[in-house]
Structure 1
Amino acid sequence: MNSNKLLKILILAFLLFFPFSSSSTETLIQNQSIKDGQILISKEKNFSIGFFSPANSSYRYLGIWFAKVKEQTLVWVANRNDPFNDSSGVLSINQDGNLVLHDSFNRSLWSTNVSVQGQASTAAQLLDSGNLVLVQENNKKVLWQSFDYPTDTLLPNMSLGLNRRTGLNRLLTSWKSRDDPGTGDCIYKLNLIEAPQFFLYKGLIPYWRTGPWPWRSSTLKSNVKVNYINNGDELSYKYFFDDSAIITRIVVDNSGLLQLFVWNDGEHRWNEFWSAPKYRCDKYGQCGAYSICNSDDIDFECSCLPGYEPKSPRQWYLREGSELGCVRNKSGLSMCGNEEGFVKMERVKAPFSPVTGHMYLSMMSYEACKQACLRNCSCTAFTSLKDGKETNCLHWYGELMDIEMHYDERDPSIYVRVDAADLAKNTMKFGGFLGNKGRLALVVMSIVVPLLPMILLAHLWIRNKKKMRDPTKSSSLNWSKRFKIIIGIARGILYLHYDSRLRIIHRDLKTSNILLDDEMNPKISDFGLARILKEDQIQDKTKRVVGTYGYMSPEYAVFGKFSTKSDVFSFGVILLEIVSGKKNSGSYMEHPSLTLIGHVWELWIEDKALDIVDSSINESYVTHEVLRSIQIGLLCVQEDVRDRPDMLEVLLMLYTDATTIPSPKQPAFIFRTTSNDLKSVAEGPCSINEVTLTNIEAR
């Protein structure tokens, strides 16, 4: 071995075992750098950033570790998949304002890679939370942070999950091994296929899951708190201890464990505070489909849900259930509209439907949730959730996977759909027919049965009388058809605004310009007033305001400004007209001065929005869909153009009940306006009734 090589090895060994610090502040600015052997320390000396090598490796990495923990414990690694094998690493801020890691050959092994506006200088700061941030010095705006790019460790108050603004789904990935911090096979991340929940994967295979939101307590264990966040910016969670002085971390291990550690300063070691999966039933799908797993059952942990039986009785007898699971029993009774019902399963981990998924329905009572599931033949189970003051609903469709007995009062009851025969069987099992309810039923039957002939005759007379009634056209449009029309109109406008080769603003959307074919599919017509915007153009202005009063947005009617949000306003009016069966220009006995928009708004703030629903669809509408539609309509007709959603957001809100919808602000044109009032503020003539004034002009 030559002397130069030996010298390099000795220097590297010295740096590994005797690190020194010539940079002890928490901030790194331009024209400064951190070289191998130097460290940057946070203000309160909670964390350090510098270069390190794992236990039995000579490779060098840039990482962050606990400064107050004697056993060096890494919480973040920059170049985890691009190490270098000498002590030449340098971390600095380059001319573009980015943090960059270079090796001896001046190769960039890692960079923050963000866009810095103008010539503003930047600075890197290590916060006492363990977060490395790159900020713009003139306004302290955070351009990049290590918390958005975690490795295998979650620290207190560090968000894990989806950042809706940036599109980042922050997740944890294990090290490859104890000596290699490279990206491993075990991943802990937010799964958005069903209700939000976190999954631990081994490769591509689900290994453990938390269970869906929102129903679990905000306490994970003892004094560990979990804060779930679901708003317009975030869909994530973070944890913290009551005592912020306690040093903790959550780690994904390469063996497939998710572990919460607490530092024991007296014994100078990490103590495991919580881990998962821990028991037999914690493993995802331990007993297969349509089954329930009970770790306390010493004989066999697996059993089938009510109404189901082992797919392979022989395998079940041999205590092997995970491969095959359970299937519907062979009672021969239909599970759709044949007096089926639900069996209550208490204190269980909610299921997961990997194929067809779930539906989350907000603001729905237990009974409404149950009936909605019964109406859908694909609905296999439901639960009713208490989220603050609201009672919400969760439906499952298709396979029910990974149900586990929890014995925890915080877990809600799950209601599993069974046919009539199994319903009767389980009723006998859980209380017997001659219980209190059974005896009451016998008393009622003894009174009702003698009266059956009279009841039947009365029913026939009422039915025949109803058959003799000029059904109206509006009654032929039940809620299901109306909702389909609303969706179709929204998709058509979305096509004009975004999917068409040219961006088209219709400018005269109204109910009379929506045509229906034989199958009630809506078609947008009359493009006489339509204008085309350039690809990069957001809005335009005209001196001649043309269109139909009652459907025009305020910025267009008053100032002649039109954009995609002008069509959104018109769509909102159409939506409210479809729900109510009334014209926006109609009159109301209680308040003759109110428009339809004003009438709906008044009912909305009084929590009486359903009073506006067309009486001809009273028996057919779905409460949560109607309320959601009214709320979307009010969002579309808000006065400030910036408050209105675009058509993509509208369609997403209509399609999925899982979307969080903001509360609408007071809309425009609440009170009726005369033609003279409108003409006095507009710069040109406009129509004030159903007649459209069309100007032909070159585009």
Structure 2
Amino acid sequence: MQALRRLFVCSLLISCIRISTTTALDTITPSRSMRDGETLVSAGGSFELGFFSPGASKGRYLGIWYSFDTDTVIVWVANRETPLGDSSGVLKVTEQGVLVLLNSSNSMKWTSNSSRTAGNPVSQLMDSGNLVLKDGNETNPDSFLWQSFDYPCDTFLPEMKLGWDLVTGLDRYASSWKSTDDPAPAEFSVGMDRRGLPQVFIMKGAKIMARGGSWNGLYFTAYPYPPQNTALEYEFVLNKDEVYYEYRLLNTSMFSRYMLTPSGIVQRFRWVYQTHSWELSSAFQADQCENYALCGAYSSCSINVSPICACLKGFVPKSPKDWNLGYWSDGCVRKIPLACSSGDRFLTYTGVKLPDTSSSWFDKSMSLKECNGLCLNNCSCTAYANLDIRGTGCLLWFGSLIDIKEFTAGGGQDLYIRIEASELDRIERKSTFKKKKLPRILIGSAVFLVFTIALILYIRKRKLRNQGVRSIDCTKDYLGEDREDMELTPLFDLSTVAKATNDFSSSNKLGEGGFGNVYKGTLIGGKEIAVKRLSKNSGQGMIEFKNEVILIARLQHRNLVKLLGCCVQEEEKILIYEFMPNKSLDFFIFINSLKFSSDQEGQRLLDWPTCFHIIGGIARGLLYLHQDSRLRIIHRDLKASNILLDNSMNPKISDFGLAKTFGSDQSRGNTNRVVGTFGYMSPEYAVDGIFSMKSDVFSFGVILLEILSRKKNRGFSHPDHHLNLLGHAWTLWIQDKQRELIDTTLYDSCNISEVLRCLHVGLLCVQRIPEDRPNMSYVVLMLSSDITLPPPKQPGFYTERSVPESPSRKRPFSVNYCSTTVIEAR
């Protein structure tokens, strides 16, 4: 017992010594330096300064981090480009008041280069995370000799200024790390541009990548509304001495930080005490419209319409051919040149992100009416707006209007664009005409259109009947549905299709699915086609057939299969597609069940770069269906066998027979009759009949895991457990054995960090709760950048009993090819 008491007293004394040392050691002086292995801790215990080695690097750096964070998030680095080679580094304060970092040979590896001197210099780590050099007990930041907040790295902390000291010429900007192993400044930076009305830019070298916009009195114009965060206070200062932006914590017990990633994404994190981890609160550049000047001059970008770029009213594409192909960077030009002075007026745009202000002029005291007159009297002025969104000040633009974004859900600001008077009159008359007379015109036009099309179909059928052929137009029952852009799908004669496929010979058969058999065909002239013939025993019928015709005829994307035509003749229902010489994705990834001319043929054709190319293509195709197409489409039967591959191994999503269209205000639907393919169905769909875009996201996640593992989700078996592929992947993830999921044939060609990122994204996509799954725009972003990914949660269908397949039922293609289909009204 006596020994235990002595041990307790010794432990208590040691603890007290540690506490005392930590509390006292927040400063260094010329007489007290700091060596590698020692640290400074801020008075409140929030931040710590010391030496560290990032990631796999062996170099030693002097940096600042959160003292309570076990993951050691580094917020500032002194010697970013000059690492120490060993652990003998020393940080000192000279008698003249300069911070220096010395190596083992007393060579200087970094210095604060402070120009001012002090009689009693000390360096102190503040509880804001700011390392300062000052004279004695000086507390006024304006009198500090030097401070780390003037030289940000990749992290923007509360009370840190982003912007310019106009007196000294100091530019405070953040720059990303080169990688997680190298804190040296990379090509991405974020800072304040002083031209015109100052604004925030994200740069890649000298190229503008994204624009946070100018300050509108409450927040930056890149955001539709002020930040809904009562814990932070934002401030923008613009005077003759300084122009900068900063934010402060209203609750000093919380922690928040902005970070510029090595891929150029600005993210905001907040510390969550319950989980002792950093939570991603927001990320700038979350959609395409945040890419700087994506649509060129005199155009606007709206992420919720397709195409996302549109010329402003009174303007037309500068290069119509390129514009129609989706190359928008040339922008738009005026239909009618400005007449100047009284010959011009202004068109109001509401709810927009204001254009680039680098060629602007502003006045804080003018009214909007005075602003209008000032712009009208200057022939070079192209637009104006309130400087402050609350209705004060004047902001004028001179030159082209660039980087406008429309906020479709409200918010944004009013912008007044200069238009020649007669052109504005025409725009206003057209708008009035649409409001008053368009409904009657549309009704009359629709009646006339229906009558005309019916007459054409009648004449065509009479002609075919006279030739002894009965044919039905694929679109005949859909005349009332979006008729404006509907075109009749090309019709193929049955005899032509039969001849092309050698009378549907078994030697021409490519495979089979829920719809029926698929054949290869060659038309007269040598064009190769794929022919999908509805089977009499198929659960699918005319509804699925017409659904596919209608949808694919309207969709145009490089990652969607192209429909060439159809044939409904006698008892036949046939779809004709472009031929995909490399078959479908499952032909390559499920190599254990396939036969190649050599054992390695499949693996060579589908190395990791090809796999990553296919993954990205599928993601972009789904994003088009969910967001960028004229229709919002849920595929409902996304699987490996429905991903076709062309000559260049470009993936193309196919088989839209089970797809559903949604309205712009609809987010999900439900059905009593579930259709699709087991193994790819999301839990909420398979169990409750609820489907949404997140159902397709789940299916995409399954495909991604199947590509990485080269195993099927349905029917997966493992000697150690009875989990399906999703459960197996999840188990390896929580055991930190992710690499064991990756098929060995990928190792020779793979970028392992890229592969593991795809695995991470796949697990995020198959999470059990739909709201936890990312949307496809975020999936594309995660796959194409180094954005920090949230941890995945447990997947849906975590366990599934494997049922061995009877040898008599084995086929040369994946069993996933077959769909479980029930006819339901659409």
Length-normalised TM-score, structure 1:
0.56
CA distance in 2, matches of 1:139, 1:400: 48
Structure 2 counterparts to residues 423-572 of structure 1, below 5 A: 423-431=424-432
> Which residue of the partner structure matches residue 61 of structure 1?
61
The alignment partner of 1:343 has SS state of strand
2:379 is matched by which residue type in structure 1?
C
Tell me by how many angstroms 1:406 deviates: 2.0
Write the letter of the residue equivalent to 1:307.
G
Residues 538-575 of structure 1: CA distance to partner in whole angstroms, max 9, x if unpaired? xxxxxxxxxxxxxxxxxxxxxxxxxxxxxxxxxxxxxx
- Name the SS for the 1:175 alignment partner: strand
Deviation at 1:240, TM superposition (A): 2.9
Distance of aligned partners of 1:293 and 1:387 in 2 relative to their CA distance in 1, 3 Å threshold: closer
Of the three residues 281, 292, 316, the one matched with 2:289 is 281
C-alpha distance in structure 1 between counterparts of 2:234 and 2:411, whole Å: 14
* Contact 1:220–1:226 (Cα < 8 Å) also in 2: no
- The farther-off stretch of 333-342 and 229-238 is 333-342
2:395 is aligned to 394
Which whole-Å CA distance do the structure 1 matches of 2:291 and 2:197 have between them? 19
1:125-154: CA deviation from partner (whole Å, max 9, x where unpaired): 101000111111165542111111111111
In the alignment, which residue of structure 1 is the partner of 2:412? 411
Q: What is the CA distance between 1:433 and its match in structure 2?
A: 11
State how far apart, in whole Å, the 2-side matches of 1:203 and 1:423 are.
Answer: 41
Match of 1:340 in 2: 344
Alignment partner, residue 240 of structure 1: 248
How big is each residue's C-alpha offset from its partner over 1:590-640, in whole Å with a ceiling of 9 and x where there is no partner?
A: xxxxxxxxxxxxxxxxxxxxxxxxxxxxxxxxxxxxxxxxxxxxxxxxxxx
**For 1:635-646, what aligned pairs fall within 5 Å after superposition?**
none
Q: CA deviation at 1:306?
A: 1.6
**Aligned counterpart in structure 2 of residue 318 of structure 1, from 317, 322, 325:** 325
Distance 1:104 1:23, change over 3 A: farther
Please say if 1:30 is aligned against 2:34. Answer: no
Determine if contact 2:199/2:357 at 8 Å carries over to the other structure.
no
How far apart are 1:23 and its partner, in Å?
A: 5.8
Structure 1: how far apart are the matches of 2:20 and 2:56? 23
- The aligned residue for residue 269 of structure 1 is 277
1:425 partner SS = helix
SS at structure 2 position matched to 1:226: strand
C-alpha contact (below 8 Å) 2:166/2:242 kept by paired residues: yes
Match in the other structure for 1:303: 310
Question: Structure 1 stretches of 5 or more lacking a match?
Answer: 1-18, 436-699
Note if contact 1:185-1:203 (Cα within 8 Å) is conserved in structure 2.
yes
Cα distance in 2, alignment partners of residues 183 and 363 from structure 1: 41
- Cα distance in 1, alignment partners of residues 419 and 26 from structure 2: 62
**Residue in 2 aligned with 1:172?**
174
Secondary structure (helix, strand or coil) at the match of 2:372 reads helix
Match of 1:420 in 2: 421
Amino acid at match of 1:188: V
**Partner SS state of residue 229, structure 1:** strand
Once residues 44 and 89 of structure 1 are traced to their aligned partners in structure 2, the CA distance between those partners, rounded to angstroms, is: 26
Offset of residue 387 of structure 1: 6.7
Residue 207 (1) aligns with residue 209 (2): yes
Counterpart in the other structure of 2:135: 136
* Distance (whole Å) between structure 2 residues aligned to residue 74 and residue 270 of structure 1: 13
The letter of the residue matching 2:245 is: Y
1:337 maps to a residue whose letter is S
Bigger CA drift: 75-84 or 105-114? 105-114
Q: CA deviation at 1:420?
A: 1.9
Structure 2 match to 1:290: 298
For the residue of structure 2 that corresponds to 1:133, the secondary structure is strand
1:168 Cα deviation (Å)? Answer: 1.1
Name the SS of the counterpart of 1:413 in structure 2.
Answer: strand
Cα-to-partner distance string for 1:430-459 (whole Å, 9 max, x where unaligned): 446999xxxxxxxxxxxxxxxxxxxxxxxx
**1:306, 1:422 within 8 Å by CA — same for their partners in 2?**
no
Q: Which moved more, 1:107-116 or 1:178-187?
A: 107-116
1:129 and 1:426 map into 2 onto residues whose CA distance is: 55
Q: Does the 8 Å CA contact 1:20/1:37 hold for their aligned counterparts?
A: no
Distance 1:431 1:362, change over 3 A: farther
CA distance in 2, matches of 1:434, 1:129: 57
Question: Deviation at 1:164?
Answer: 2.7
Relative distance call for 1:222 and 1:95 in structure 2 (3 A) is closer
Evaluate the alpha carbon distance shift between residue 30 and residue 308 of structure 1 in structure 2; reply closer, same or farther with a 3 A threshold. same
Aligned letter for 2:294? Answer: Q
- Counting only pairs closer than 5 Å after superposition, residues 110-121 of structure 1 correspond to structure 2 as 110-117=110-117, 120-121=119-120
Give every structure 1 segment of 4 or more consecutive aligned residues whose post-TM-superposition deviation is greater than 6 Å. Answer: 19-22
CA distance in 2, matches of 1:209, 1:334: 28
172 and 386 in structure 1: CA distance in 2 versus 1, 3 angstrom threshold: closer
* Contact 1:260–1:273 under 8 Å retained in 2: yes
Mapped partners of 2:26, 2:313: distance in 1? 60
Shift of 1:245: 1.6
In the TM superposition, what whole-angstrom CA distance separates every residue of 1:162-220 from its partner, at most 9, and x where no partner exists? 12333211100000111000011101010011211110011211111111123344843
Q: Structure 1 residues 31, 409: CA separation in 2 closer, same or farther (over 3 Å shift)?
A: same
**What 5-or-longer segments of structure 2 have no aligned partner?**
1-17, 221-225, 437-826
Counterpart residue number, 1:73? 73
In 1, Cα distance between the equivalents of 2:256 and 2:354? 29
Matched, 1:352 2:356: yes
1:371-386 pair list within 5 angstroms: 371-386=373-388
Q: How far does residue 267 in structure 1 lie from its aligned partner after superposition? A: 2.6
Contact residue 23 and residue 34 of structure 1 kept, 8 A: no
* 2:160 corresponding residue in structure 1: 158
Q: d(CA) in 2 for partners of 1:282 and 1:221?
A: 20
1:196 alignment partner AA: P
Across the two proteins, how many residue pairs are aligned to each other? 409
Contact preservation (8 Å) 2:97, 2:117: no
Alignment partner, residue 198 of structure 1: 200
Deviation, 1:46, is: 0.3
Q: Could you say what secondary structure the match of 1:147 adopts?
A: helix
Q: Deviations over 1:496-539 (max 9, x none)?
A: xxxxxxxxxxxxxxxxxxxxxxxxxxxxxxxxxxxxxxxxxxxx
CA deviation vs aligned residue, 1:313-370 (integer Å, no higher than 9, x gap): 112222221x2111112x4x5431362211100010000165xx11112322222211
Separation in 2 of the partners of 1:343 and 1:374?
Answer: 13
Q: Is the 8 A contact 2:98 2:111 kept in 1?
A: yes
- Aligned pairs for 1:246-261 (under 5 A) are 246-261=254-269
Alignment check: 8 A CA contact 1:343 1:426 kept = no
Distance of 2:115 and 2:388 partners within structure 1: 44
Contact residue 215 and residue 385 of structure 1 kept, 8 A = yes
Q: Equivalent residue of 2:214, what SS?
A: coil
- SS of 1:100's equivalent in the other structure is strand
Correspondence for 1:226: 234
Distance 2:410 2:219 in 1: 10
Check the 8 A contact 2:96/2:117 in 1, yes or no: no
**Percent identity over paired residues:** 37
Secondary structure of residue in 2 paired with 1:114: coil
* Secondary structure at the counterpart of residue 59 of structure 2: coil
Aligned AA (1:380): T
Normalising to structure 2: TM-score of the pair? 0.47
Whole-angstrom CA distance in 1 between matches of 2:432 and 2:213? 30
Superposition pairs of residues 84-123 of structure 1, within 5 angstroms: 84-117=84-117, 120-123=119-122
Indicate the residue corresponding to 1:183 in structure 2: 185
Alpha-carbon offset, residue 105 of structure 1: 1.4
**Aligned letter for 1:411?**
G
Q: CA deviation at 1:234?
A: 2.5
Secondary structure, in 3 states, of the residue corresponding to 2:387? Answer: strand
- Tell me the amino acid that sits aligned with residue 130 of structure 2: N
Judged with a 3 Å threshold, the aligned counterparts in structure 2 of structure 1 residues 334 and 93 are, in CA distance, closer, same or farther, namely: closer
| Separation in structure 2 between the aligned mates of residue 392 and residue 248 of structure 1, nearest angstrom | 32
